[in-house]
Structure 1
């Protein structure tokens, strides 16, 4: 099964790329959050992705957001793709509110060393591994380069948020945990611990990020816990952490996973989704990047393809706008950039990277006259069609400078089209999508019919 490890498009402005999630601007008040199949552990992203992991994380979080909306407002709007959600833009509060119901993980390791407080919360003596606390405890941490435990008093003193907001976050987290625990227990699952994140939208406190997913929570099967509490196996990505700890060498964890561990991790994620929601994940067996493109296009966030017009000077903008207007008639996205091959050529690699990494069909129009190094530089380094369409002030300018666009270096297959409308049509046709080819077939047929009609009219006039 293919994996979705990244997604790039010149049509979407990327706002943030984290260990697992990437976010893009949708509009002024919304963003798209994509959960990739990347997996992280011990503050490091592994080189080996896990199939369907991102779709499980996103779809499961969306399911929980809907189930808990009545008790806590959240930023979720709708699912765009199994791995993508449209959410409202929020001002995040840089804290993770962790709720723990059992003594396990890092808390147990510290407890063994004699510590009896977790983030300022006291825990009793005499507890064993994986034992339940008398009641769930809240242990917040900061969201920094390296997260650190922090007490309620320190949160206020250090200015992370106000006391009033923290107390509200504290109370909501316990309520969410109580509801989640009850719902999961009905499905034979114990919610061991989890983390919640909050933000502000128009001054209202809302739940953001994710909720009760395998990446943010620990889960145990109740039957297994009842049989042997101290050795119960987790259903979340602790399976991967255990593998890494078992194969640690010289203080370093492995950065890749073997095929059997990847397959088992993917199976566990999918099984957990089905256990929690009661239904299988709707996950089409197709290339995930292709699926994402299709769904983003259906929802109106992406056009079918994109033409990037790269100009050598701001004075070329009117020339480029003529082509952009023509291209948009085909319902194709247009992005314009100003980069001089001679004066700020260091910017060219940025364009190269954007285009090489993108997933949708893309073509380039290079707008540069006189010494046209721009079209050559783009064509020599990009695996997409590049069309030179230089601007000319008059016929003399054309005669003197056309050759700089026609004479490209070897192994530089840039095309040159003089007329802006023809260049625009050529760039669109180079995208080579079925719908665009059909559009041009209809356009050609229309021209043929017009010519046939003109001939028929002339013949009638001549026979009179």
Structure 2
């Protein structure tokens, strides 16, 4: 079967790879990128391992929009996912993966099936950190819960990668990371992410990626933390008896609400880092700070000003950013007698970080100049450009879910790199 998909001109489809209850996956015929697939959503809603199922006109479009917005957030903060781009109203393009047949579930609040499996735990019990559970995908046996030991013992192998302890550990950590990133995002809309499930696949390069679909079938969402206001598929699961058209319209409205709310969670951080250098000779040091900021998705600008030689200009620059209406962190780069950082700190309520351009010859003098500031000033001092960027990101991350998420994913990737290096050394 070879066809062009009309909603996405230029995309030529090959054979059907797999069809599930709510989606179809097609080959994409391309000499340049043969490792991509076309994932098409259906106007179908199901529950109870497919026992309960109904057509829901418009669901495919809503699901596809929701999925695209979620994966755009995950990709923007540095998570490794299979999602590439949208392809029309009801489909998207993804990296072709061999799927790990495990559902990875994260829970912040005890509810639903957890209560049935753990009698005595009250509904609303909070898990800190989030609880992570795994379930083997097997509709006939109602997706039984599996332990880490069962997953490892199964000996799954996909695209040359055997799923062992290291791989399970990465997926477990990544599952919690995905949950916390989206939890933080939803919290910015006063909505609680209660629990969610994701899946992983292994691409042709042997990389483990967050894959499949993340939409309103994947999670529980309670606006204002109130279960009675739930906007997820649980509304459908809870219907006893006949499912009426009125029920289906309510569910569709809920799913539309979710997709609309995601528009407000787009990865466009509303904040700024301003690097002020006391001399153009410090530009090389400042560029290192700028590069580290950009790696953390921080918008950043550089300026040249001297608190000693041009105090009025320094105050003018300060006023410019204070009046921008944007949260700002200032990084002061000045050596010798560092007046820049203290002058900024004494004249703004925004955070100021000193990062002097030290060398082996002046490290003791320049660091002391930045540390020994007059009383009543709160500017902090770090030695390295990356440390200045990280400190600025941590400040902005308190109120910006995109920056916080970039830091969280950075932690995950650092651990993954260390474990990969350990595996290489271990297997020599």
- How many angstroms apart in 2 are the aligned matches of 1:237 and 1:86? 25
| SS of residue matched to 1:129 | coil
Shift of 1:91: 1.6
| SS of residue matched to 2:103 | strand
- How many angstroms apart in 2 are the aligned matches of 1:198 and 1:219? 22
| SS of residue matched to 2:113 | helix
CA offsets, 1:234-261, max 9 Å, x none?
2101111111xx22xxxxxx5xx31101
| SS of residue matched to 2:87 | strand
1:260 aligns with 2:267: no
Shift of 1:278: 3.0
Aligned to 2:152: 156
1:175 aligns with 2:171: no
Query: Pick from 120, 126, 131: which aligns with 1:132?
Result: 126
Aligned to 2:98: 91
Aligned to 2:118: 111
Aligned to 2:274: none
Q: Extract structure 1 runs of 4+ deviating beyond 6 A.
A: none
Aligned to 1:194: 196
| SS of residue matched to 1:48 | strand
Retained in 1: the 8 A contact 2:105–2:198? yes
Aligned to 2:138: 144
Query: Pick from 36, 42, 49: which aligns with 1:36?
Result: 42
Aligned to 2:89: 82
Aligned to 1:57: 63
Retained in 2: the 8 A contact 1:187–1:276? no
1:276 aligns with 2:262: yes
1:208 aligns with 2:211: yes
Structure 2-normalised TM-score?
A: 0.54
Shift of 1:279: 9.3
- How many angstroms apart in 1 are the aligned matches of 2:245 and 2:18? 30
- How many angstroms apart in 2 are the aligned matches of 1:45 and 1:164? 36
- How many angstroms apart in 1 are the aligned matches of 2:232 and 2:127? 21
| SS of residue matched to 2:176 | helix
Aligned to 1:73: 80
Aligned to 2:187: 185
Shift of 1:109: 2.0
1:406-425 → structure 2 map (5 Å cutoff): none
- How many angstroms apart in 2 are the aligned matches of 1:32 and 1:175? 26
Structure 1-normalised TM-score?
A: 0.50
**Cα 1:180–1:11, aligned 2, differ >3 Å: closer, same or farther?**
closer
Count of paired positions: 243
- How many angstroms apart in 1 are the aligned matches of 2:229 and 2:118? 20
Shift of 1:52: 2.0
| SS of residue matched to 2:55 | coil
Shift of 1:12: 4.2
Retained in 1: the 8 A contact 2:66–2:216? no
* Larger of the two Rg values belongs to structure: 1
CA offsets, 1:443-462, max 9 Å, x none?
xxxxxxxxxxxxxxxxxxxx
**Cα 1:26–1:238, aligned 2, differ >3 Å: closer, same or farther?**
same
Aligned to 1:238: 234
Query: Whose strand fraction is larger, Structure 1's or Structure 2's?
Result: 2
Shift of 1:22: 0.7
- How many angstroms apart in 1 are the aligned matches of 2:186 and 2:235? 20
**Cα 1:192–1:279, aligned 2, differ >3 Å: closer, same or farther?**
closer
